[in-house]
Structure formats: structure tokens, C-alpha cells
């Protein structure tokens, strides 16, 4: 099936997988560390919720620790592409593009 024949919701290169896990993040420019709550993950991106005020273009190291035998550790460098204020309270929903998968550390 060609890309044009798929429905609009299926046109992504990678399917989004819902996640409910803590993500450790570190800014590349200042080394500031903080945690976020993961919402979904795909082969080329991530969505998380945080109280940190990030900007599109910010680059971060992301670490997700394995919490079950079905998960593996993820260490990646991401670039923030979207930041939206949460309607249900303080904080931000942040969309990031995965730039590189790093060796664990």
C-alpha cells in the first residue's frame, strides 16, 4: 500500500506508542538536569510533560531507564520542535525529534 492510499492517521513513518514513564533530561548548552513524564514515543520522536520552560531548538540528552523486562534503556539526543502550555494546569507538553541514539551511560 502506498503512502497516498493510507488514511491520514497512518501517514507517519513510525507509530506512536503510549508510554507512562519518567524521563531524565539534560540540556546540552547548560547541563541543567530535570525529569519529565513520558506520554508517547515513536521511532523518530517523543512527547513528554514537564514544568521546565523549553524552547523550540533546545537540544537535550534524554534517558529512559528500563522498568520491566519488556523495556530497554533509551539514551538519545533530541531537539525540541514544539512546546504547548497545558490546559489542565501548570507545565508544558513538549514534542521532540530524536536526532541520535547514544550509547548508554
What is the CATH classification number for the domain harbouring 24? 2.40.10.220
Using the structure block, give the residue that is written with the C-alpha cell 533530541.
78
Does 40 map to a domain?
A: yes
Does 87 map to a domain?
A: yes
pLDDT of residue 2: 46
Does 69 map to a domain?
A: yes
Residue 56 Cα to chain centre, angstroms: 13
Does 86 map to a domain?
A: yes
pLDDT of residue 73: 80
CA dist., res. 54 & res. 35, Å (int): 13
Does 8 map to a domain?
A: no
**Residue 43 CB neighbour total at 10 angstroms:** 11
- Over residues 69-80, mean pLDDT: 83
Structural domain total, the chain:
1
Model pTM score: 0.81
Does 95 map to a domain?
A: yes
- Over residues 76-81, mean pLDDT: 97
Does 3 map to a domain?
A: no
Domain holding 33, by residue range, is 14-101
Give the pLDDT confidence of 30-57 residue by residue, as tens digits. 999 999 999 999 889 999 999 999 999 9
Amino acid at each position: 500500500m502506498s503512502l497516498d492510499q493510507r488514511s491520514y492517521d497512518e501517514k507517519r513513518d513510525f507509530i506512536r506508542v503510549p508510554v507512562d514513564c519518567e524521563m531524565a533530561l539534560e540540556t546540552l548548552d547548560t547541563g541543567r538536569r530535570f525529569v519529565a513524564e513520558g506520554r508517547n514515543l515513536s521511532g523518530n520522536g517523543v512527547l513528554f510533560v514537564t514544568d521546565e520552560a523549553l524552547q523550540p531548538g533546545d537540544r537535550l540528552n534524554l534517558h529512559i531507564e528500563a522498568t520491566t523486562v519488556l523495556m530497554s534503556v533509551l539514551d538519545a539526543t533530541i531537539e525540541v520542535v514544539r512546546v504547548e502550555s497545558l490546559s489542565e494546569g501548570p507545565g508544558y507538553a513538549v514534542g521532540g525529534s530524536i536526532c541520535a541514539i547514544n550509547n548508554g551511560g
